[in-house]
A and B are shown apart, each in its own frame.
Chain A
């Protein structure tokens, strides 16, 4: 959806041809935000003061207390306000993560301290083995398997430093920018001047805190932006903290911004951006393709990377946050985080490898859920398919063209006056029949349900929310907040209110509830949900969102929870779908807004992009940035939401989309229709082949998802994750690997391209996925030039990989459940290869009870007899039952005869073809070891995996070995 029509109309009326439609004046810059301005000014003063600058915050040594586990607590004072008390708590978790918390103690109000309860999956376990040593100047703890990690908490000034092997990894308050604005009473306005007092001059004493806080108060209380005034009833409560990475030259993360993966600097010498990165979930109309402006979602997680190590910080705060990034040198990074409210709750993730950072972050906020199989297929969306007949026609057209598609989407126009759940009776007179007709072709539907409820007494959803008293309240905390969104005057459910939860979950039941309460009887289990506008988008609100002084459950202001709000909405919708059926089925929920932890509730997309090459290119980087922050299930609208892409652009966009975990085509209501079947040849045929390729590769995607659900390592892996020691790859963000499959792709995102450049980090052979052309990397890395005409996708199999695909095109993924597999065995330069394949029913949660199949395929030199290659299949489920699936703590054994595996066996799900790449010689014989059966094969001579000269790979195609996917077997190439 978009941000949005009336804004568009206004824009178009007033500025008919506005090249850049992004409305900069709708959104604050740092200088327009009081606390950001104060934070940056603080940093400026520190910079000017240079070495004479010292943080006013220090630990009172007498207050230090060690508690059970690796917990240290201490009182903190600021020399500026000696009467104010702060409490510090530092704990080391079982996995070595350091959690630093600081709050104002017994202040005038309470700072918001509940962000962790929404973002974390559970309270992290504190280490029992690590011991703190309390010294005179500091407190220290040494740990790690090699005792290589040391955490030092210095007293004066307060500073927390994480060392590895004596090298500073993360330094908190190293620049002395830590500042927690304490709660204070609003000063009485000066007494009205009495007559005759004009001449009196009030001599103000010099402000002793001016060196730190500046010499005048700046927007501490009421603050105005545009026509909106934020009443700020609690006054200033911002939190500033600097975090240095003295030995890391690259930082990544803090999505969502339209920029490079390796974050460009915002301060220091000739910074790329002049404003800090902003995290404040916002519905930004026609956002810019290169900007630090905040977008729809926020994850305050930052990776810092060097050839030596990867570390990360997770700054768990839900309020508006601005982050400056600068580099003292190429090898170090300084960051400065300023948040509007909330306690300091900072997690330092020690790494030291990217994979360990992912695991550490996953233990905090959870791993992505295993999606329903159908949601990895192709999604066809448009604002709007206008009627049930339209939906049926589009569905039919896909079938007529014999192209696969899994999900048809309905945007907001299905509902009269945008009263979500309710169908427009004129255009959708038969919704359930329509859904069933789509389902009869093995497909699903996704229908949008937005969080704003039309204030209309005939709308049962609004009426019930009103009755339950679970709507967000305006400032002052009385009544219901009214804002303007699609339906006109609207209110918003406060999902922070537990009183809303059961009711929201009940709404999605596709059957009549006992007691007659309203539920969505006009839907079925084949309907899944799209949550849009959950930043929340409020057309007439400040910065197109809610006023910050709105009041949520528990009396918290909207400013405290703004960035968490969107996640809670998709969380509850997710739960609602999971419980609507018995036994529960995996829901699919797409959200636009997100926060740390949103990976547990489905997929996200990069919002309302433009149909331009720049947006296509930055979309890839944004998806990568989301992936490393946990949100692997991500994608950008194929085709671009705004505008009419020409056929070339559309083809390239399908190539981009087919290699994103979430693959959806979407279009604005003002655009021409652009479903694939409307293209002419050759573009149409190219798009069809891309769609079929996506479906052939579904086993790769599903297997990659299994892995991330267990390890948290993202599905899309940029160079620095796969080759953390190759500095040439640290700034590469236009090519990436897919899971552990060994597939490397570089989607083309430029016009008129016939060839492109791909970087190979390692001394390994790479095979073109389609042509089997070989390329050889070098130990120092190598750039190769590869063909990339419109019909070509630069896609490579890294030598040493076995890729499982299903090559029979079906109309939908659900129809492929029993199809045979093709294995591409891409031999490494050492003549080995391996790969895994994970399968389950793709629909229910029975995999958590052990109903799955997880195989490993290995190709190696044949040990028996020492000649030839042996390809074998072994049972990973049996080998690693505890690592197979997420969310199954009790699952310690694996039964290869489980119901699901049995079904595959009974249906004779098999390998129908091997394609072995890089053999040295033409084989003499190919046979199944167990039965001795000779197999039919074709051999095309070519380059061996050990060759360095390139050329087409030697290719062996083994015809139908009839080996079952569920069995152990070996195929010998002699």
Chain B
């Protein structure tokens, strides 16, 4: 401090003294700083006329600060550092004469002479080197980026072709479906009335009721299971987060109770284990012991896995099967069994006679039977129709996807105006930090994965590019937002902001949790490396 002061002493100049009159003025603005004939000058906003001597006299006269471009007198002015040998820059007036050598002002013109040396040569040199290195990365990245763009074009072509070919397939399929529909309608109209009658069967109605009841039970069971799981998570967090030395008996009992219920070791023992052996004791909630089940009842496993199959039963088909089954014993009657006693030659005659006879009986109401063949044919036709319709829908959605894929590739709000991001769709990159791997699957999901195993947490699903920038602008692609990740207990849903910059690799470079459960990734990608030539126009303007 003292030596620095001594160094200053011989200078003994006023803040503005010993400096060029128009220090701090940008060369292009110099023409505005000329005195009138009467040696006066008008503030640039026209608000006031002052003496020419009052320009840069270290006293703020103009409300726009324009009379003090070279001093700190006006808080709203800025100072131009010429920085010969480097790039010129503005600094706010608050930095003028503050005793600090501004990095942006390498010529030291912002301070009294002698305070800061002119380091623009070295700074410029270093800057150019740094810039070259950046350019090198940018060029390399740009090459990779161009392959991404090429990929996008190819992908676009592929998707377009796919869309066209799918369209053709759709046309074919549509015709087929049409035919099948006609056929099914024909067959169905035959059996529809009969089927309606059968559906009045008390058994069928009861079955439907059972189905509804089962579905309701299933819904309730799922609700409770979810609730149990959430409670388990809360209790796990309590168990891990509570302070065992703090003698809150209510908490301790809750933890102990949970551990017993969930078959977990006592957390203190686990922590001790960690301390001594440096590795975590296996920590999983023990599956509840299977309770013994009454002989015929379903096990929990069966409930989990087979209930859905049961509920998906085609009840109409079942009804028909049932009819078939119920009617079977009638066929055991002598009339139907006769065939076994008849000589083979008689058989065709007999069958013809029998059908006629049964029909006759049926008409008389003696035998109530259905035309089995008609109804099962109708079901089959329906089945074939629905399969064909499903296939048609699949083709249509595939086609729509292909078409929307085509639009997205070069859409500014998706894969960029040049499609440079398409290549990275669902590309996963990750960074290890602390006890976690932080994964980022671009355009899909960000995850936090404990390195020592355990539950992965979703940090969020892709939501948008930079919401604060115009789609298509360079700023727009420097940020991605992932939202609605797993909810933090006692906190918000996790979310991620990804700050992207040009780099030769797709990589996560840092992860910070700036606010609770709100993460900031930085990442690099060649997709952001525009060829330096493309930038030049902008850069040059910036540097003026």
Residues of chain A touching chain B, judged by Cβ–Cβ distance below 8 Å, are 6-7, 9-10, 12-14, 226-228, 386-387, 389-390, 402, 426-427, 440-442, 483-484, 488-489, 539-540, 669-673, 692, 807-811, 815-820, 841, 899, 903, 906-908, 912-913, 959-960
Contacts and interface: CB of A to CB of B under 8 A. Distances in A.
B514 interface: yes
B243 A386 contact: no
Contacts of B241: 6, 9
Interface in B38-81: 57-59, 61, 72-73, 75
Given A13-B238, A672-B515, A6 B243 contact: yes
A540 B94 contact: no
A389 B434 contact: no
Interface stretch (B19-27, B95-103, B122-130, B500-508): B95-103
Contacts of B246: 6-7, 10, 484, 539-540
B340 interface: no
A912 B512 contact: no
Contact of A912 (B59, B243, B254, B516): B59
A12 B490 contact: yes
Given A540-B247, A670-B491, A808-B93, 20 more contacts: A9-B237, A9-B242, A10-B238, A14-B250, A14-B251, A386-B512, A426-B434, A440-B100, A484-B243, A484-B246, A671-B515, A808-B73, A818-B97, A899-B2, A908-B15, A912-B73, A913-B59, A959-B59, A960-B58, A960-B59
A13 B5 CA distance: 61
B234 interface: yes
Contact of A539 (B9, B14, B97, B243): B243
A506 B491 CA distance: 42
A908 B71 CA distance: 15
B94 A808 contact: yes
B98 A673 contact: no
Given A669-B516, A809-B75, A227 B249 contact: yes
A673 B97 CA distance: 33
A823 to B, nearest CB: 14
Given A12-B490, A442-B98, A673 B59 contact: no
B510 interface: yes
A389 B510 contact: yes
19 contacts: A6-B246, A9-B237, A9-B242, A10-B246, A13-B254, A14-B251, A389-B510, A389-B512, A426-B434, A442-B98, A539-B243, A539-B245, A540-B246, A670-B490, A808-B93, A810-B98, A818-B99, A903-B5, A959-B59
B514 A673 contact: yes
A228 B251 CA distance: 17
A13 B234 contact: yes
Interface in B442-470: none
A227 B245 contact: no
Contacts of A12: 490
B242 A906 contact: no
Nearest to B488: A670
B471 to A, nearest CB: 22
Contacts of B336: none
B248 interface: yes
Contacts of A899: 2
Contact of B58 (A387, A672, A807, A912): A912
B326 to A, nearest CB: 58
Contacts of B95: 811
B360 interface: no
A343 to B, nearest CB: 34
A441 B91 CA distance: 14
5 smallest CB-CB distances across A and B, nearest first, come from: A484-B245, A815-B98, A540-B245, A540-B246, A960-B59
B251 A670 contact: no
B334 to A, nearest CB: 77
B100 A815 contact: yes
A488 B514 CA distance: 24
Contacts of A808: 72-73, 75, 93-94
A209 B247 CA distance: 39
Interface string B327-369: 0000000000000000000000000000000000000000000
Interface string B1-31: 1100100110010110000000000000000
Contacts of B58: 820, 912, 960
A811 B94 contact: yes
B92 interface: yes
Contacts of A819: 72
Given A14-B251, A484-B246, A811-B95, A9 B238 contact: yes
Interface in B90-135: 92-95, 97-100
Contacts of B516: 669-670
A551 B514 CA distance: 42
Contacts of A440: 100
A903 B250 CA distance: 67
B226 interface: no
Contacts of A670: 490-491, 516
Interface string B143-173: 0000000000000000000000000000000
Contacts of A10: 238, 242, 246, 248, 251
Contacts of A959: 59, 61
Nearest to B101: A440
Contacts of A483: 245
B243 A387 contact: no
Given A9-B238, A808-B75, A390 B434 contact: no
A899 to B, nearest CB: 8
A442 B100 contact: yes
A484 B247 CA distance: 11
B433 interface: yes
A807 B59 CA distance: 11
Interface in B484-506: 490-491
A811 B242 contact: no
Nearest to A16: B490
B488 to A, nearest CB: 10
Contacts of A673: 514-515
Nearest to B517: A670
B433 A426 contact: yes
A908 B72 contact: no
A442 B101 CA distance: 11
Interface string B226-270: 000000001001100111011111110010000000000000000
A906 B12 CA distance: 6
A130 B234 CA distance: 72
B11 to A, nearest CB: 8
Contacts of B12: 906
Contact of A908 (B14, B94, B245, B248): B14
A390 B515 CA distance: 11
B513 interface: yes
Contacts of A390: 512, 514
A442 B490 CA distance: 39
A816 B72 CA distance: 11
A959 B75 CA distance: 17
Contacts of B97: 818
A427 B98 CA distance: 32
B514 A906 contact: no
B330 to A, nearest CB: 67
Contacts of B245: 483-484, 488-489, 539-540
Contacts of A841: 1
A540 B9 contact: no
A960 B16 CA distance: 13
Interface centre among A9, A227, A672 (most CB of B within 10 A): A9
Interface in B353-410: none
B542 to A, nearest CB: 16
A811 B5 contact: no
A743 B2 CA distance: 36
Contacts of B2: 899
A9 B75 contact: no
Given A10-B248, A808-B72, A960 B57 contact: yes
Contacts of B8: 906-907
Contacts of A488: 245
